[in-house]
A and B are shown apart, each in its own frame.
Chain A
Amino acid sequence: MSPLKRIAYFIGLPVLLIALWWLLTLGPTNFFVPKPLKLVETFWTVWASDRLWTDFLPSIIRLFIGLAASIVLGVVLGVLIGTYRWLRSFTEPILEFFRAVPPPVLVPLLMLLIGINDQMKIVVIITGAIWPVLLNTVEGVRAVDPVLSDTTLTYRITGLARLRYLVLPGASPQIMAGVRQCLSIGLILMVISEMFGSSSGLGYTIVLFQRGFAIPEMWSGIAVLGLIGIGLSFVFRGVEGRVLGWYHGLREMQRDT
């Protein structure tokens, strides 16, 4: 495909949709749907101001702390549980239960136990985002190639070296799949944790706009959340390309043969 054609495919539909949106809002002002230009304008005035420092940045920092903690904790616990068979049977039913609890219902509970503060919001993110990482790590560690596992044993590669060169790389495709899910859940929980009894943050601001019927402002908040989601998946794809480059190459070779 020529680059020109590729660009046309990439922006074709979005341009068409925006044109449609513009055309449909040309007429009398609709209360619920702002005009495209108006939205861009609002977006700029609302978010390129103090809000960037008081609402946007703290939310993002909490999100990153929460995500980093869930990934680290999830991988560490997952490697432990995946390595020891008895530990896996011991914890499996309880983990199944906790994974099945919809994480937002833990917000009222954690508000009670911790209070309404930054720690609570971070813990909310962790309690929801850790499960995909943890369970995928367990599965990944279990599914490590037995031949490679026996080979490392024969060469007496044990302990940390075994972890570094066999278990973690072997489980990394599964772990990354878990991380991908954990990003979107973490973002959802960041917003929800701020919708309860909070006085700052993205979730709070958006609800505030909606309650005050500041419709274009509300849409601009929705757009910010969308952009964060897109940014996260973009960063993730970059990291995944680096970490799993070897794996995708291997898969491609296997497919060709």
Chain B
Amino acid sequence: MHVSPRPAPAFEAGVGLKPQHYKEALEGHHPLSFFEVHAENFFGLGGPPHRWLTAFREKFDLSIHGVCLSIGAPSALDVGHLQRLKLLVDRYQPKFVSEHLAWTGDSGIFHNDLLPVPLNAASFRYICDHVDEVQSRLGRQILIENPSLYLELRESDIAEPEFLNDLAKATGCGLLLDINNVFVSATNLGFEAQAYLDKIEARHVGEIHLAGHVVDPAAKEPLLIDNHGALICDEVLALYAAFVADKGPRPTLVEWDTDVPDFAVLIGETRRACRAIEAAAFVKSEMAHG
């Protein structure tokens, strides 16, 4: 039996799995219980990537995070893409499968980025259909993640938390709450991140993402770019801790995709998240006991 050299955190912690960390992460001298991979990086049928992922699956839970399914576009989901995702999910039986409230392409042209979806009654209908289709094809629940937004769409007339709550109710999907994305969108679009989080119905939230962002130095207005390439900012950690103190812990994953640092830095980020939770819990109990 593996004995972790440090106490496990108060929640299930994971990090995004990067090839440069494979060896160290697999050795297991860390408190993590799950790893997340981008689905599309494992759409090949074999080779070294699958040997590694198989080895990880033997020791840890997995989260398979899709980025290119484009459920937010009105055109039909790509049959081949969904089939490749199904093969992967069947093969690894991950703990979580997730996608985004976003589109990456429409009508056969793809953009390789998570693009903003107009949130209105019409898009709600086809997005529900797409989530239903994915869940029935995979034979399991998926989680839908809130994206980082850089642009207000005049075509939208439903607020994102309401849209996500209703999507979860209508389809039975869960939510992947990315608190950094909430903070980035709130700053860029000018709304209150805390108010957004207050509106999210916590019972739908199956996983939380934390990550860092950068400030665009060229922008005239404050513009944050969700680059997954920096430490989690203190405001995001505070929002996270308050959410957990209020609604209870959720499996929490630290993402880092740009200028990926040493594995120890990612572990350090999960520890910061843990300490933020402990601090928030302490404050809460102090307040409760007067």
Mutual binders A and B: no
B residues whose Cβ falls under 8 Å from a Cβ of A: none
A residues whose Cβ falls under 8 Å from a Cβ of B: none
